[in-house]
Amino acid sequence: MTTDPIVLSDLLAELALRQLPCGGWAALASSSQPAIEPTCYSALALDSAPVGDIARAQDFLLRTQNPNGSWPVFPGDDQEGGWITSLVVMALRDLVPAIPARLQGFHWLLNCAGKEANWFWKWKFRTDDRHVRFDPDKYGWPWFPDTVSWVVPTAFSILALNQIPCSCGGLEQIPFRVNRGIEMLMDRVCPGGGWNAGNGVVYGAALAPHADDTAIALLALRDRAEDPVVQSSVGYLERTAPALTAPCSLAWAILALAAHRRAIASLRTSLIARPDLSSIEDTSTLALACLALDYRRTLSAFGVTV
Amino acid sequence: MSVTRRDFLIGSAALAAGATVTTPFLLPKFHSDQRPNRSRVAILHARQYSNHLDQILAAGLRLFPINVRGKTVVLKPNLVDYIPSNAINTHPLLVLAAVESFRRLGAKSVLVAEGPGHQRDTQLVLSQSGYEQYLRDEKIRFVDLNRDQLIRTPLRASYTGMKDLWLPRTMLEADFLVSMPKIKTHHWSGVTLSLKNMFGIVPGARYGWPKNILHWKGIQESILDLCATVPIHFVIADGIVAMEGNGPLNGKPRPLGTIVLADDPAAADATCARLMGFEPSRIVHIREGSRFLGNASPGLVDQAGEILTAPTSPFQVVPEFQHLHAFRSAHRLTGGETQISRWKW
């Protein structure tokens, strides 16, 4: 019988094998182009593992920071930065030499907002462009600057900013931005619970929630567990997760349901029962499977208290 | 009337200023005219998704002088998200039939590539929409374009004002690119056919889910820039069960019983639009695309297969796109359908 620790150690070994000489990981096993997102998940997964060169991974992340404090999607990318900044500041959370870089990252996150935060677009969404149902006063973070807020980047930014112990030294806006982000998530929930990519209703039609988007939003809303919106969304995820056939969504569901103190034993069994887990082409998914199997440590890394 | 030197200088300056302002609007926004002299479209009848699609498709492909021997063929279906009972995605049986057909035609390799625009978990879309099983059983390689290796690529048109995009290596290195759209209406662009299907090559990892920057730069404009930059060599459009109404996700299935093949994406999309009961020249990216991407005019398209007929009732669209509907100029034929020549386009 295969147990969680055996599977986890096999997956971590595979993950370590995929580390590139530069210290980062590529998005796909067949690629040699290092990317920041898989590197963050891999660094989090290998944090306390005896395999992989975590120091080299952290050094890679520090080296790739943009001059404006953000992080690019991959080395060589344009330098305006993007949502991935929130994930990097969490991946570097325990590294003392990374404190200045993280602070720059937090400042960048605070200055980054969905386009609807601007008065002109707010006015346009209120008066003219009304096919998507949402309250433009409630904004969060975009995937990339100059676009509107979306669920996943907003949830990751909330998780990241919640890791700052105090809002001082130019970071006084953190509570305001975090609250705005939470309001945005609450506003854009799908009818019946759960989250789609960005909005719940478009052209009068209710959008179906996505399991992974919902799970990531629920991690960011752990402190609002009693809110009816959160409870209905947890309910959606509980109903949906057992039928999830893809390890990425399943891993996120395990993390979110564990954060909300729901039963996850059967989901973990489903995850480790997948015969092709270690040969998954997508490296982020491989790392996420590791993070889900080691969920207590992962939730701690995301600053989510259970 | 005498013209003084001062008048002449002022007039010249005004002319120069006017030319400076207006020239950018008059110059073409595309780098090269990719239109063939003539294009070919075939409309194939297929009542349902079945294992016989490979025979139908093979017969249809024989109508075209295609040479893919020794080439890498990339099939780009439309895989956006999965909602049970909604006809959102190109059906996997049609993609499977295309793989078999191109393999038989001697392609070096045939792979399927897509970067879902709405759902980040590509494997979940593949699994739920039935692709995963077929890909595994038939040993077909799938490339997740949302996470493929990226190359900064200068755009070969300037409708959006963007100079370049990071695009997947797989698409840039394809010898023969086949756009395989689902024939659908779209609440932002009117229709989503072979040209709009190219949004899926824009990597989510770099531009987000959905690829929101393209919406802000203009959907129609982005379609034109993308298709100018990554040319489509062939089209296999899935209209066996199409979608009408609030597409691309929440519309209603609309059985059309048709597969459209074409060696020209503009010709393919114009034909599909007519099959939907739309006037192609009212769809901005088809009209503008017919200036440099391909031929949309029926006079420049050789029609094969079934007769092009418009539906008894045109596809439903959201209110903003009611103007796409072609209007009748003559009486309807009996038998439920109207010949295209009796419609005013």
What is the CATH classification number for the domain harbouring B278?
3.40.50
Strand partners, B44: B259
Q: Is the residue at B228 inside a domain?
A: yes
Residues A227-244: tens digit of each pLDDT = 999 999 999 999 999 999
Point out the residue among A146, A197, A245 whose CB comes nearest to the CB of B127. Answer: A245
What percentage of chain A exceeds 70 in pLDDT? 99
pLDDT bucket at A270, cuts 50 / 70 / 90: very high
B164 interfaces chain A, CB cutoff of 8 Å: no
Q: Is the residue at B320 inside a domain?
A: yes
User: How many angstroms separate the CA atoms of B263 and B271, rounded?
Assistant: 12
What percentage of chain A exceeds 90 in pLDDT? 79
The verdict on a CB contact (< 8 Å) between A211 and B122 is: no
A240 in Cβ contact with A253 (< 8 Å):
yes
The verdict on a CB contact (< 8 Å) between B124 and A131 is: no
- Where does chain B have alpha helices with state H? 5-26, 53-61, 92-104, 122-128, 131-137, 169-172, 204-207, 212-217, 219-229, 265-275, 284-289
A295 interfaces chain B, CB cutoff of 8 Å: no
The verdict on a CB contact (< 8 Å) between B149 and A32 is: yes
pLDDT bucket at A51, cuts 50 / 70 / 90: confident
pLDDT bucket at A86, cuts 50 / 70 / 90: very high
Q: Is the residue at B22 inside a domain?
A: no
In terms of residue numbers, what domain contains B106?
42-344
B283 in Cβ contact with B190 (< 8 Å):
yes
| Cβ-based contacts of A198 with chain B (< 8 Å) | 210
Instruction: Show Cβ contacts of residue A173 under 8 Å, excluding neighbours closer than 6 positions.
Output: A110, A167
Query: Is residue B260 within a helix (H) or strand (E), and if so which, with residue range?
Result: strand B252-262
Find residues 185-224 of chain A whose CB sits inside 8 Å of chain B.
196-198, 202-205, 207-208, 210-213
**Amino acid (one-letter) located at B117:** G
pLDDT attached to residue B344: 30
DSSP B128-192: HTTHHHHHHHTT-EEEETTSS-EEEEE-SB-SS---EEEEEHHHHT-SEEEEE-EEEEETTTEEE
The verdict on a CB contact (< 8 Å) between A73 and B216 is: no
Give the alpha-carbon dihedral of A10, A11, A13, A15, to 10 degrees: 170
Residues A113-171: tens digit of each pLDDT = 999 999 988 888 888 777 878 888 999 999 999 899 999 999 999 999 999 877 777 88
Strands, DSSP E only, in A76-213?
Answer: 201-202, 205-206
Q: Is the residue at B1 inside a domain?
A: no
Tokens linked to A99: 């404190």
Query: Is residue A26 within a helix (H) or strand (E), and if so which, with residue range?
Result: strand A25-26
Compute the nearest-CA separation of B148 from chain A (Å): 7
User: How many angstroms separate the CA atoms of B202 and B211, rounded?
Assistant: 7
Q: Is the residue at B10 inside a domain?
A: no
Closest CA relative to residue A202, chosen from B89, B323, B80, B247:
B247
pLDDT attached to residue B1: 58
* CATH placement of domain A4-301: 1.50.10.20
pLDDT bucket at A305, cuts 50 / 70 / 90: confident
A97-104's contacts with Cβ under 8 Å and 24+ in sequence apart are A97/A62, A98/A58, A98/A61, A98/A62, A101/A62, A101/A65, A101/A69, A103/A169, A104/A65, A104/A68, A104/A69
A79 interfaces chain B, CB cutoff of 8 Å: no
Task: Give every residue of chain B whose pLDDT is below 50, as ranges.
Answer: 329-345
A251 interfaces chain B, CB cutoff of 8 Å: no
Residue with tokens 């190219």: B198
| Cβ-based contacts of A205 with chain B (< 8 Å) | 246, 249-250
Domain ranges of chain A: 4-301
Strand partners, B192: B184
| Cβ-based contacts of B216 with chain A (< 8 Å) | 115, 146-147
- Count CB atoms within 10 A of the CB of residue B37: 6
Q: Is the pLDDT of residue A2 over 60?
A: no
Mean pLDDT of chain A: 93
Q: How far is CA B334 from CA B331, B338, B344, in A?
A: 9, 8, 18
Q: Is the residue at B224 inside a domain?
A: yes
Q: Is the residue at B32 inside a domain?
A: no
Inter-chain Cβ pairs, chain A and chain B, closer than 8 A: 105
Q: How many domains does chain B have?
A: 1
Average pLDDT over residues A28-46: 96
The verdict on a CB contact (< 8 Å) between A282 and B122 is: yes
pLDDT attached to residue B305: 87
Residues A248-269: tens digit of each pLDDT = 999 999 999 999 999 999 999 9
Instruction: Show Cβ contacts of residue B254 under 8 Å, excluding neighbours closer than 6 positions.
Output: B87, B241, B242, B243, B244, B315
The verdict on a CB contact (< 8 Å) between A248 and B210 is: no
DSSP B23-52: HHHHS-SBSS----SSEEEEEEE--S--TT
Residues B168-208: tens digit of each pLDDT = 999 999 999 999 999 999 998 999 999 999 999 999 999 99
Nearest-by-CA chain B residue for A276: B136
Nearest-by-CA chain A residue for B167: A77
Residues A174-230: tens digit of each pLDDT = 999 999 999 999 999 999 999 999 988 888 888 899 999 999 999 999 999 999 999
pLDDT attached to residue B20: 67
**Which of B82, B125, B206 is the mutation pick for testing A, counting most A CBs within 10 A?**
B206
User: How many angstroms separate the CA atoms of B108 and A234, rounded?
Assistant: 48
pLDDT attached to residue A5: 82
pLDDT attached to residue B74: 98
| Cβ-based contacts of A288 with chain B (< 8 Å) | none
